[in-house]
Chain A
Amino acid sequence: MKKYIRSFRLFLGAIPYKQALIFLVVMAFFGVLFCVKDVLMSDSSDFVTGMFQGMSAMIGPVSTIIGVMQLMTLYNSCSPESPGYKFFRSIPDSGVHFSRAIIAGNVFAGAEGIVMLALVYVIFRLAGFDYSGVLLGALILPFATGICNFAGFMKRNIARVIWIVMVLTVSGFASGFLAGAAEDGEPTLAEMFMTDSLPFFIILAAGIILFAVSMILSVRHVREKWGVDKCSD
């Protein structure tokens, strides 16, 4: 495992750890905010109420994207237009390092997403919020990571960014839709999960399969193409 982490560090330095720390601080801030919501909502302001509803719906899906963003940075750094590309291409065993970094990046994205979701879940439970956002985040996490892997070798960085923006947009729509439905008296995602969890697990399994396939293909692509001399003779 150590060599995978070393390869990941080779490509991204200490940046993922710094970013993870920043996000943890942000999450802690939200945690405090949610815990004192009763004080803030005492005047029954529509703005504050709406803000908390929006945050509780979005914070789950957004927290899953943090690790995925770092995975995206990893792929970005290996695009010919990006600074650092020539360094990464010129090092010994560059393909091996890159494939290990992709595996570590995927594990990191998954682990970071799970930790963040767990944190959000604890905060929601403490604050007495509906935890549908956490379930939505858990469903999105493998799909977002898988899509990031599939988009990893797109020639244009902008195409990769569009993919990720699409994932965020879909999460936003889904969160909004669920929040709206709950307001109209429809069951929340958490209530649906408690009633029948099978569809949830089917979607999750599909996501995990997509994630696994994408990672395998990505690693195979790197090992076959990256740093291999394709001289015609």
Chain B
Amino acid sequence: METNSCVSIKGLTKEYSKFTLGALDINIPEGFSTALIGANGAGKTTLIDILCGVTHRTSGDVVYFDGKGDIADPALRERIGYCASTAFFPLAFTAKDIASSMEIAYKSFDRAKFAELCEKFEVDSEHTKKPRNMMKQSDGNRMRTCLASVFARNTELLVLDEPGSSLDPLMRDRLCDRMREYLDDGDGRRSIIFSTHNIADMENAADYAVFMDKGRVIEQGFIEELKEKYVIARGDAENYDKAKSLLMSGNHNRTTFDGLALAENAEELAKLGVESETPTLQQLSVGLLKYAEEHR
């Protein structure tokens, strides 16, 4: 699919003493929601931190929107909404402090909308009598407040680090709806990047996926295209040894087996009596990450 990029990453690296991210080459499509998928330590948060100017890259280029490349540029930051996975705001802050800080920090922050979203997300707003500070709230409620603050701004790109991990299933569903609304309201100009472990729950929110393992990108593409590129193969255990060379990764028990394979191998698998079906994002993720783990 031919699309413009809202973020174009070329040769990006970040070196820590015990971990190196990259070199990464990623094109995040404009107007879509992109999921960063990977195991713990894959480098998703580091990548998000670099994209939002929280940490500096060691080398490489990141180009945002129409050729803007310097994340230190305040005008660029104004266009990006960011929410970290944990403790984004100081723990002593109440909703009122958050509203004041956001209002000072961002011209695009709508204080009334923040209060409205806090009430919608069922957390303390600045109109709540004796609002609790972040310290006294659960991880889920902190994330809800954080999401309310980021959706209360008029941005063109949302970068959310593990937005669903601390939310209950119902709230995760609501978040997916809210993310869809955000994209729809943007007429193809708004984009979202989010990292997730809850692939099954957040599948509805993702259009494009970037799979990461140990600081590298192992696969990326539109989810619909990836679902055409790969298949889930299922067969009887007695055929597993013959089919094994055609599988990228798989599991087997005494009676059956299943695994991820390239769609181009589906015909050969069929000859072995192995059925192929379209994978879900969850199956795709597990298969690809397992493959990457086995071939490090």
Q: Which residues of A contact B (CB under 8 A)?
A: 6-7, 9-15, 77, 82-87, 89-94, 97, 227-233
Residues of B within 8 A of A91 (CB): 77, 105-106
Residues of B within 8 A of A228 (CB): 72
Within the assembled complex, what's the spacing in Å between the Cα atoms of A164 and B94?
27
B94, B98, B105 — most chain A CB neighbours (10 Å): B105
Q: Does B251 contact A (CB under 8 A)?
A: no
B69-126 interface (Cβ within 8 A of A)? 70-72, 74-75, 77-78, 82, 84, 86-94, 96-98, 100-101, 104-106
- Are the CB atoms of B100 and A14 closer together than 8 Å? yes
Q: Give the number of residues in B that approach A within 8 Å (Cβ atoms).
A: 37
Rounded to whole Å, the gap between the CB of A5 and the closest CB of chain B is: 10
B53, B74, B96, B100: the one within 8 Å of A89 (CB): B53
* CB-CB nearest in chain B for A6: B104
Residues of A within 8 A of B93 (CB): 13, 84
- Are the CB atoms of B87 and A83 closer together than 8 Å? yes
* CB-CB nearest in chain A for B51: A90
Residues of A within 8 A of B74 (CB): 92-93
Rounded to whole Å, the gap between the CB of A105 and the closest CB of chain B is: 15
- Please give 5 more A-B residue pairs, beta carbons under 8 A apart, in addition to A83-B88, A87-B101: A9-B101, A13-B98, A15-B92, A89-B55, A91-B105
Nearest 4 CB-CB pairings of A with B: A13-B97, A83-B87, A92-B74, A84-B90
Within the assembled complex, what's the spacing in Å between the Cα atoms of A12 and B86?
19
A12, A14, A92, A233: the one within 8 Å of B105 (CB): A92
Contact flag A83-B105 (CB < 8 Å), given A90-B52, A90-B77, A92-B78: no
Residues of B within 8 A of A233 (CB): 59-60
Rounded to whole Å, the gap between the CB of B42 and the closest CB of chain A is: 19
Rounded to whole Å, the gap between the CB of B86 and the closest CB of chain A is: 8
Rounded to whole Å, the gap between the CB of B94 and the closest CB of chain A is: 7
Within the assembled complex, what's the spacing in Å between the Cα atoms of A233 and B57?
10
Rounded to whole Å, the gap between the CB of B21 and the closest CB of chain A is: 14
- Are the CB atoms of B56 and A231 closer together than 8 Å? yes
Q: Does B134 contact A (CB under 8 A)?
A: yes
Within the assembled complex, what's the spacing in Å between the Cα atoms of A77 and B52?
18
Interface class of chain B by DSSP: loop
* CB-CB nearest in chain B for A81: B87
B49, B57, B84, B100: the one within 8 Å of A87 (CB): B84
Rounded to whole Å, the gap between the CB of B68 and the closest CB of chain A is: 13
Residues of A within 8 A of B60 (CB): 231, 233
Residues of A within 8 A of B75 (CB): 92
Q: Which residues of B contact A (CB under 8 A)?
A: 49, 52-60, 70-72, 74-75, 77-78, 82, 84, 86-94, 96-98, 100-101, 104-106, 134
Within the assembled complex, what's the spacing in Å between the Cα atoms of A36 and B70?
64
A10, A12, A83, A86 — most chain B CB neighbours (10 Å): A86
Can you offer 23 A-B residue contacts whose CB atoms are under 8 A? Answer: A10-B101, A11-B101, A13-B96, A13-B101, A14-B96, A83-B88, A84-B88, A85-B54, A86-B52, A86-B54, A87-B88, A87-B101, A89-B54, A90-B52, A90-B77, A90-B82, A92-B78, A228-B72, A229-B53, A229-B57, A229-B70, A229-B72, A232-B58
- Are the CB atoms of A90 and B53 closer together than 8 Å? yes
Within the assembled complex, what's the spacing in Å between the Cα atoms of A84 and B78?
18
- Are the CB atoms of B72 and A13 closer together than 8 Å? no
A6, A9, A84, A229: the one within 8 Å of B71 (CB): A229
Rounded to whole Å, the gap between the CB of B157 and the closest CB of chain A is: 12
- Are the CB atoms of B59 and A231 closer together than 8 Å? yes
* CB-CB nearest in chain B for A15: B92
Within the assembled complex, what's the spacing in Å between the Cα atoms of A77 and B134?
14
* CB-CB nearest in chain A for B57: A231
Within the assembled complex, what's the spacing in Å between the Cα atoms of A97 and B87?
20
Rounded to whole Å, the gap between the CB of B139 and the closest CB of chain A is: 12
Within the assembled complex, what's the spacing in Å between the Cα atoms of A197 and B243?
94
* CB-CB nearest in chain A for B96: A14
Residues of B within 8 A of A87 (CB): 84, 88-90, 101
- Are the CB atoms of B56 and A230 closer together than 8 Å? yes
Residues of A within 8 A of B98 (CB): 13
- Are the CB atoms of B92 and A227 closer together than 8 Å? no
- Are the CB atoms of A227 and B100 closer together than 8 Å? no
Within the assembled complex, what's the spacing in Å between the Cα atoms of A11 and B92?
11
- Are the CB atoms of B100 and A13 closer together than 8 Å? yes
Rounded to whole Å, the gap between the CB of B128 and the closest CB of chain A is: 15
* CB-CB nearest in chain B for A73: B92
- Are the CB atoms of A7 and B104 closer together than 8 Å? yes
B58, B59, B70, B84: the one within 8 Å of A86 (CB): B84
B55, B59, B97, B104: the one within 8 Å of A14 (CB): B97
Contact flag A92-B77 (CB < 8 Å), given A86-B88, A87-B84: yes
Residues of B within 8 A of A82 (CB): 90
Within the assembled complex, what's the spacing in Å between the Cα atoms of A83 and B88?
6
- Are the CB atoms of A13 and B91 closer together than 8 Å? no
